[in-house]
Structure 1
Amino acid sequence: MLKRIPLFYKYLLSYSILLIIPLIVTSLFSYKHYTSILKEEIMLGHEQMLEQMRDTFDTKMREMNTISYEISSNPELTPYYLEQNMYHAYAAKRLLNFTVANNFFQNVFLYIKEGDYIYSAESTYSIPLFTDNIYQYKNWSPSQFRNDLNRLETPILRPSEEVDSSLLKSNRAITYIVPLPPSGVEPYGAAVFIIDEDTVKGLQRGGIEERVGNTLILNEKGEVITSLYDTDYLQDQSFLQSIKALPPGSKSIKIKNEQYILSTAKSNYTGWTYLTMMPQEHLLKKVSQVQYRAMIVLIANLFLGSIVIYFLMRINYSPLQQIFSYTTLQLGKSVQNSSDVLNMLSNMNKKSKAIENKWKDNQYAIRKYLLIELLHGQITDMKEFYDRGEEVGLNFREKRIFVLRCEIKDEDIDNKAIISERINNEIYTRYEGYEVKWANQNVITYICTLGKEDQQLKEFILFLHKILKEHSQGSITIGVGCIYEDMNKIGKSYMEASTALDYKLIKGQNQVIFFDEINSENQLDYWYPKQEIETLQLLVNERDTAKIIEMIKNIHRDVEKNKPPLHMVRCICYDIINCIIKNSYNNENSYLADLTYPDIEKLSKFETLQDFEQLANEICMRLQGVVQDRNIESDLRERAITFIRENYRDNQFSVQKMADSLSVAQTYLKRYFKQQTGQTITDYLSFYRIEHAKQLLKNSNISLKELVKEIGYHDVSSFIRKFKNEMKITPGEYRKIHTDRKKVN
């Protein structure tokens, strides 16, 4: 049956199944998963909003309690002081002006027990005047008002109630009364905070998007302190008690046959319960929208996918023919069967192996390059060397290191490979070593490391020399440098090994020459500037370039005067260069780290004191060049800062324009400015503009539009956003604070 179906329809059916099954499974999983996540995110968002509202109210309550403490601790607001004369009562106005810094409550009043007056920042009122004209409570009579204040022992918060007052926006207020002192046993008075319900509703209103839900605040007794909207269910005490008992989080409840999502949060500070009630249908409207859109997308994908599959099948009806065409294009000859395709794959495999072999050859070249750089003393960052070396199989695991050089006479050149292999076999069985292929065909160089002091090292090298002579028809001379624990001194060991080879003119050929033996033979007879090298190290640490140059010249004069042997002069040169390089990297003397120094190969080849003189002069000239560059860079820093301070008012300011003015590259200027100041150019410009704006806000009355032009911003909104991000308040608030301070002063 299937055999009779055309190939086109077989492919069409198979591709359709491949599309439909994964798409449906993936869509259903994603649909359930992401709608669940969206639902949780919406619920979590309401809970977080509620917690934020709770934290805001807790903060405001703490602030009012703090103000009560401030009032009770102020000696000018005590009963004794206020009741002396009316001038003191008048003077208390400025001490009660707390609404400037706190706009949560509409006003704060001070009442002294059994007194006839109530004090505020605006005026001093008699009790009848206050209750009959200023704040006329509908459910709080003047006598009860006085009686409650006189008997007050603990803080009391009266829920939202009707208050007839021209000072209120909504004619409803919440009253918070705190005894004075708040923690005293026998209060002498009370602080009365009048909170406009409209202010509280402004905080509650952020909890719902439209007028479809409600936000409540219940006190510890389950009574409604305030609600965003008055509804019938708020009169049901059993309902209020039931929702007060709910744990924090979100629950689904039914009210009047409609399902609501109720989110609650409780305050540990006040004991109040904060609630938002949203119709479930409205709250999860976005989830329903996502569900609907997901279904539309699934159907659209199936429809479009079917169309795409159909046309692709029309295009790819002959897939094997397309493979043959591709193979023909790659090989440049006609391909008619599968064997030709296999031949193409075989050729690709051969090319892949050729590329792999080239990589291996490059590994060898890179390793050789790194070893030569190390011997020449051109490696200044050993961490970078280890990282690069690890990629090509170059890794020094041991700390102690020395260089061995083996010179083969011309008649043994044909046996060099055999001799090299013999050396490798002997050294690698005892030490970690790397052979360095050199341009000089007569000399084989090895870098060797050992973990601990080897008392039999010399005996081993002598034994190695004996074995090599057995495979040699001519003479083989080995030079061995000293052992060092500092990888930076490997170049010195190489120079010592080269010097030891040169000593064959004195010691004779066909033997092993150890540099430390040469040195010990001559160290009592020749001068060495040990104290001068130590002084040079101190000068490098002190970054005194002029004295560094002078010290190098002094060492040069001492060399001419004392005329030490050539190998000692080479060591002196190495110690000078190593001293500068090592201390420039270890002590943050970066102004010396960029110098290029003569390599070790050059040190090992100079043969006269005139060569040393030329080398010393070369180092001094390079140091003087560094000093001049440093002076130029210091001048650039001052010019860059001056340019910003002179051009910050330009709203077309750009780093490129600044770089052109200073005649430097933009990338260099950005990097240099950050190194010198610790800030980017943009950050420094923004800081300078904000500082100037602060001065204008404090000392002038110009409008924000004029101010923005003055400091180089494009528009007012971007300036306000930047200012608030930096100062945490708006420019208007900043100006108001400083204006009020001037008035108080």
Structure 2
Amino acid sequence: MRWTARARGMARNQMSLFYTLFGSFIAVILLLVSINSIAYGFFRDNIKKEIILNSSLNLQASAANYEKHIKLIRSYMLGYLFDNNTQILKRGDPMRRYDVVIDVQKGLQHDLNNSLLYLDNIIYYFKDDDFVIERDGTRNAETMFSKFYNHPSYTADFWNKEMDGSESFRVYPAGPFRFVSPFEQKALGTFIPILVKNAYDHRFAFIVLLNANRAFEAFHQFKPDSSFFIVNAQRQVLFSSAAGTAPPPEIAGLTGEGYVRADEQYYFYRTSADTGFTYFEVVSNKGLAEQLHRLNLAMGALIALSILFGLIVSYWFSKRFHNPLANLIRSVQSRSAVGVPAGEGSRIKEFNLLQSTLSHLSRSNQEYHQDLLAKNNLLQQFAYMTRLKKIQGDGGTLATSIDDNGPYRLVLSQIEFKDRFAKEIANAPQRAFNMYRELINAHFSSRYDNSFTFQLEKDQILSILFVKNENEDRQEDDLDELVRMLGKDIPYCNFTLAISPVRHHSADFAETYQNVLDLIKQRRLGEDVQVIGEWIPRPSLMIPSPSEEQELTANLQAGGDDITIPLVDRLLDQLNKAGALAYQFQDFAADVVNRTIKIMYAQNVSIGSVADGGSPYDQLKSCHTLEQYKAFFHKFLARSAAAIQAKKSETDIITKFVMEYVEAHYGEDLSLDVIAGKLGITGPYLSTYYKEKTGTNFSDYIFSVRMNKATEMLRETDLKIQEIASLVGYYTVASFNRVFKRYAGITPSEYRRQHNQWRE
């Protein structure tokens, strides 16, 4: 009876605990919901202001985009206006300069392919000659504006009158243009005409047709129930996103920045200080109300879902907390009620469950203990690593085999996967590396007791060999067998084995490891297994020399692979003859690649044209012999030179003229004003234009051409220094010597002497 009463009381307590937890969760949920409701009510009134602010910011961004594009078109067309071909056509009868007309058409077709300009056409209009040039051909003005670009307002007479005005840049209202012929009528689109001309020239002008719809899609973020207008200073509507509509006159006259509400519409407006255009975005008040309504519905649904989800989760958590505790209490009370001794509880199911759980925990503890013993190897690795890396910490107190101060030596194995094999094992490189680690470990374990082999870096394996009899050294025999086994995999990997002398003190462990790291760097070129046991000092290599470095840079910039490839071959041969190590070849090759890439970047040449599907630095890692380095540079330098030459061939007519003129007259007066006068433009404009197009200063280009010619004459001729100075445009030998030394680092006489010595 007492047990039954206690059980019933426990049942009541269990139910009370469940409802207590569940009620607490519900109280927290209701508190959070009330806080969210109050916060939503507080911020709801500000949402409308945020929507209005968002519309204002959208209009601001659209106005800035339009203004920036109009400024871009103005700048772009000024370049056309002062172009050499334009000046030639304006000076004479354009219909007789057929060659220039063809160049103009090609230029138009190329530039109009630029989708970011949003231009449909650029029309050269010669008023007195009644002659028009556009991307598809030439024709008279009447045919052009009545047939090919027909619009009732923009006729040939209209443009003739507009050209008599004094404005050099004017934007006209957008209109639908059509192609009209006796057999066909076709809509071309909605264009915004722009007139560009010299303010004092009434005989020639450019008519630019800006695609209004494409520009609108690019510059304005469209919203439902909204429209967009552009109004000029004369209150003319230049563009309307809603065809056939315009803001009321009292609205169209607004200037400045802000918004007004009229006729259930919000009119946001912003006036540009540069063009005087006023940009309008019209948003329906109905649209704002619908947005708020949708927001209310979304918020209500979110709160309802939150309450439902909270109730479900609360019930689940309450049950999860309640059931284990109730079962545990029930098990303890059952055991106490029957008075069963501690060793006789098998008749009670809950007690058996607890006993089973405790037994399971005991077995798990034993398994964990065995697992810890099995991980002793990992702890040993950690202890050795902390000593090698000189890491100060508790790991340094772990006991290791070298603490006995017995004789030991280190063998560091470096494995480098070759390119073809690396691609084959791309999905499992560590598995292949582990295979070699196990092979090396098995080899040394069979010969040295307590030897320890583990991976130290991603490509390095360290073996610690404990030598019993220092006098009976089996180093050569042991390594010969290992080299023979590894040699079978030479087609797939390069192996470098660095072996230290026998050491006796654990304090020398980190120093010994540093010694074998230095030995690894002693690897020479070759595809083989190299065993290095002695460090041989290598002299520092001054390759290339300053003059060779200047020559290499100059020819890389010029794209002259006929010089750079033999020069790099010669430098590689010098490295090989001097006994350079593998990493020195890598450093030299990486330096040449760096120079080439910097020059390509400076000349706006795409690196992808020489990458060949991968990084040139990655390709360098696949070079292990002198022949492979030469083959790489033959291909890389040829492609980079071709890319630089191709880039140079793309230069426009002004830069092309400058380059051709300088190449032909490098010994004459090449001042900025002289060349600019031949082009019919100003010196400052030519300097700025050339710098923008080529990325090189005008004076630096002339200097490099003259110095390249001078070095060529010094190498290939027996002319006197004074004669060479005169031929490349310097009137005194002193000035020539000064600039040449700044270019090459040595005087012309020293340069010629060094070159002759090398040739001999």
* TMscore range, shorter length: 0.3 to 0.5
- TM-score w.r.t. length of structure 1: 0.44
